[in-house]
């Protein structure tokens, strides 16, 4: 008789995760099912201008992995140019959208909830 002990750690291969449509593009989301982890980690590919939206509870942190020369981010009324290596913290209530093509890591705290995507 063997007792199987679950590891206290998790490994995710984003290449094996399915893509899910979102207002920003296609997101691959990790760690949603891990009860004792307070966030979700997303790799999102943005191919066109995203839809302006906001969250009432979620804080998102975008890390720009890759982007085209035209890439920008709208944060409320301001539009800022982006480049690879930038990081943006988007607290609840900030209306935001990605403009142009890019690939980002998005750290969402607390865990992503599709019910907390709001559009004007």
Per-position pLDDT tens, the chain of length 120:
567 888 889 999 999 999 999 888 899 999 999 999 999 999 999 988 889 999 999 999 999 999 999 999 999 999 999 999 999 999 999 999 999 999 999 999 999 999 999 998
- 54: its two tokens: 């906001």
pTM: 0.90
The domains located in the chain, with CATH, are 28-112 (2.60.120.10)
Residues 6+ apart with CB under 8 A from 33: none
Pairing assessment for the beta strands 78-81 and 72-75 based on DSSP bridges:
antiparallel
pLDDT computed for residue 41 by the predictor: 98
Count of beta carbons in the 10 Å neighbourhood of residue 25: 20
pLDDT computed for residue 1 by the predictor: 54
């Amino acid at each position: 008789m063997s007792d199987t002990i679950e590891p206290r750690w998790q490994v995710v291969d984003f290449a094996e995760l399915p893509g899910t449509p979102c207002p920003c593009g296609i997101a691959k989301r990790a760690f949603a099912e891990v009860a004792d982890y307070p966030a979700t980690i997303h790799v999102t590919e943005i191919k066109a201008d995203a839809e302006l939206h906001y969250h009432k509870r979620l804080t998102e942190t975008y890390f720009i992995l890759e982007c085209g020369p035209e890439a920008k981010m709208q944060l409320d009324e301001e539009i800022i140019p982006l480049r690879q290596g930038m990081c943006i913290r988007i607290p609840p209530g900030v209306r935001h959208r990605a403009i142009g093509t890019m690939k980002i890591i998005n750290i969402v705290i607390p865990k992503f909830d599709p019910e907390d995507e709001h559009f004007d």
